[in-house]
Amino acid sequence: MFTAIVYIHVKQEYLEGFIEATLDNARNSQQEPGILAFDMLQQKDDPTRFVLYETYRTPQAQLDHRETAHYLRWRETVEGMMEEPRFAVKYDILSP
């Protein structure tokens, strides 16, 4: 198992559209058998900043996720909404 934390900075004028598209992606992602968690977080002091907290059973599960219709739809929809390119950091799970 591992977790990928994705950091996203959205342009203010696209905030509602980004949230809508990302919630759709999160709901569908949570149904994938290889995903243990897919959480969307919004920063309290800067609502244009988000974190996606994604926990996968295997590295292949993340690759499979990137081929799903809902992920591809999300990626295409939000591409121009970001203030800067999103980036991810991967973590091994040590506990629990």
Strand partners, 38: 54
Do the beta carbons of residue 6 and residue 85 sit within 8 Å? no
Alpha-carbon distances of 38 from 57, 60, 80, 82, 83, rounded to whole Å: 12, 16, 22, 20, 22
Instruction: Give strand ranges (E) for the chain.
Output: 2-9, 35-42, 49-56, 87-92
Report all structural domains of the chain as residue ranges with CATH numbers, in order of start.
2-92 (3.30.70.100)
Do the beta carbons of residue 2 and residue 90 sit within 8 Å? yes
Indicate if the pLDDT at residue 95 is higher than 90: no
Reported as a single tens digit per residue, the pLDDT across 35-79 is 999 999 999 999 999 999 999 999 999 999 999 999 999 999 999
C-alpha to C-alpha distance for 87 and 18, rounded to whole angstroms: 16
pTM summary value: 0.92
